[in-house]
Amino acid sequence: MARVEGVGLGLRAPLVGDLMTRAPPSLRWVEVSPENHMGRGGFFERMLADARGRFPVVTHGLSLGLGDRAPPDPAFLRALRAFLESVGTPWHSDHLCFGAVDGAHLHDLLPLPFTRESVRAVADRVRLLEDALGLPIAVENISWYAHPGDAQMSEADFLGEVLSRSDARLLLDVNNAFVNARNHGTDARDFLRRIPADRVVQIHVAGHFTGADGFRIDTHGEPVCAEVYELLELALSRTGRVPVLLERDGGFPPFDELAAEVERLDAILQRASP
């Protein structure tokens, strides 16, 4: 299993040509979503093989449904485990959300209520998934746009409770923390100060869309904003130097612009304590 450190970039089809031929020196690893590659031949299969030949790979899931109510599909877990082993990821992350209801998959990151019932459900599932996959699970805080019903605790407390009741690590998404704070009138710095920093194994950084009414949507389709860079510095001051990933899923700029973002993230990361 390759050591993962420094700055990474999400492996996306529009980026792969530049990634393979002129990646910036500070780009040290790539992140892959298994659901985009499992059971898929052709271009995606070749893209993954090329990337694995050049970079360590960390996996980031889209559909484990940490908050789903139905038991996980054993066949999918077996296939996922084989995939994770094949790419040698040190951990597998997925989102603190639900995505399927009564067998219907909604293909988005849907919000869990910040309740004790949710904490128990997610913690139980994380433990089950870690056993099934044979790897540590890292839970990512999501951008949420509405809270379903009444909350019994804050988001930071919810996250902390899930981590304390499970063996999960934390994939801290700094952009999501910022988006949530702006949308819900809270303080992202306070959120970052309250999360259990010793559980953070990876950080996500991304851009987001701001609507005419000021409401923000986590799109991964814009440049990283100045406030998120500042929050990254704060987060790293608490976590120490953990791998940082730049997420870019759309609105792809010229590769040199992405490379400049990678270099900027690396400069921030290098200033953090080891």
Binding range to other proteins, per CB under 8 A, among 52-60, 139-147, 169-177, 194-202: 139-147
114 binds other proteins (CB under 8 A): no
111 binds other proteins (CB under 8 A): yes
Whole-angstrom Cα distance, residue 20 to residue 52?
10
Residue closer to other proteins (CB basis): 121 or 138: 121
* Residue numbers 147-206 binding other proteins by CB under 8 A: 147-150
Binding range to other proteins, per CB under 8 A, among 111-119, 123-131, 200-208, 256-264: 111-119
78 binds other proteins (CB under 8 A): no
115 binds other proteins (CB under 8 A): yes
Q: Is 131 helix (H, G, I), strand (E, B) or coil?
A: helix
Q: Amino acid letter at 218?
A: D
* Residue numbers 213-232 binding other proteins by CB under 8 A: 215, 217
Q: Is 99 helix (H, G, I), strand (E, B) or coil?
A: strand
Whole-angstrom Cα distance, residue 133 to residue 128?
9
Of these, 88, 113, 136, 221, which contacts other proteins (CB under 8 A)? Answer: 113
CB 169 within 8 A of CB 125: no
Binding range to other proteins, per CB under 8 A, among 20-28, 125-133, 141-149, 159-167: 141-149
Binding range to other proteins, per CB under 8 A, among 83-91, 102-110, 125-133, 197-205: 102-110
The full DSSP string for 209-254 is EE-TTS-EE--S-SPPPHHHHHHHHHHHHHH-S--EEEE--SS---
100 binds other proteins (CB under 8 A): yes
Binding range to other proteins, per CB under 8 A, among 17-25, 32-40, 186-194, 239-247: 32-40
49 binds other proteins (CB under 8 A): no
H-state helical runs in 23-154? 43-54, 74-87, 116-133
40 binds other proteins (CB under 8 A): yes
210 binds other proteins (CB under 8 A): no
The closest alpha carbon to 244, from 84, 62, 96, 31, belongs to 31
DSSP letter assigned to residue 121: H
Of these, 51, 57, 110, 174, which contacts other proteins (CB under 8 A)? Answer: 110
CB 221 within 8 A of CB 209: yes
E strands, 5-160, where? 7-10, 27-32, 57-60, 92-95, 98-101, 104-110, 137-140
Of these, 69, 164, 253, 267, which contacts other proteins (CB under 8 A)? Answer: 69
CB 264 within 8 A of CB 225: no
Residue closer to other proteins (CB basis): 110 or 242: 110
Minimum distance, C-beta of residue 111 to other proteins, in the bound complex (Å) = 8
Binding residues for other proteins (CB under 8 A): 35, 38-46, 62-63, 67, 69, 76, 98-108, 110-113, 115, 117-118, 121, 145-150, 215, 217
